[in-house]
Amino acid sequence: MRDYAAAMARRVADAPPPLAKPVDEIPDGSLAALRRRARGCRRCPLWRDATQTVFGAGPGDAQVMLIGEQPGSQEDLEGRPFVGPAGRLLRDALAEAGLDADRLYLTNTVKHFKFEPRGKVRLHRRANAAEQTACRPWLAAELLRVRPALVVALGAMAAQTLFGHAFRLTAERGRWRALDARTQALATWHPSAILRMRAPQRDEARAQLVADLARAADRLRR
């Protein structure tokens, strides 16, 4: 029986990560070990100007994983994902959707803040394709360790990392897709994109974010 359990655990660990493109050299070890190793990540130049690596946070056995784009200024300073203005919007939306934020695993596609200094402010810049590719092994490792039943991609960067470059958020938002035999995923608005919108689009997109998160809450109850 113990041999069977060990073989099953090996099969899960050996399974390819449910990402659109293959990832070589997926780091192994526990989530805590991955988090420690990611602190010293030099796979792309973003570490040079960032304060620290912002690795995923949440229970290692979470049933739901939320994947954002990249940390913002406040996340960079605090070292945790979604603690700034976008995080506040997200946490309010999660509460309205009936999901307990403390039971979710929150992470990002790219683990370092990218910015351009302008006087005293640090203007957010989007990580490019090479930086996203360089960071993919960390996301792959998180998906393989946590093995969530449900994944919610927040925004196009995370959605395309999961579903491929042809994915269009405006056309396919809120629809479940199988990532592999045990994982379902959907994509929805990124909270930062909602913050940049004006009313009435902003209110509509926020309502759609809550409705999509509620779809995840519904699935968990089944």
Binding site for ligand URA (CB under 6 A): 68-72, 75, 81-82, 84, 86-87, 108, 192
In contact, 67 and 162? CB cutoff 8 Å: yes
Quote the distance between the C-alpha of residue 115 and its chain's center: 19
CB-based closest residue to ligand URA:
68
Q: Cβ 8 to ligand URA, closest distance in Å?
A: 33
The residue among 75 and 142 lying less far from ligand URA, judged by its C-beta, is 75
The residue among 15 and 124 lying less far from ligand URA, judged by its C-beta, is 124
Q: What are the φ/ψ torsions at residue 116 (nearest 5 degrees)?
A: -125, 125
**Spatial separation of the C-alpha atoms in residues 120 and 198, rounded to whole Å:** 26
Q: Cβ 42 to ligand URA, closest distance in Å?
A: 21
The residue among 84 and 137 lying less far from ligand URA, judged by its C-beta, is 84
Q: Cβ 100 to ligand URA, closest distance in Å?
A: 18
**Spatial separation of the C-alpha atoms in residues 210 and 194, rounded to whole Å:** 12
Residue 102: name the closest of 61, 139, 136 by CA: 61
Q: Cβ 111 to ligand URA, closest distance in Å?
A: 9
The residue among 87 and 148 lying less far from ligand URA, judged by its C-beta, is 87
Reduce the DSSP state of residue 148 to 3 states and report it.
Answer: coil
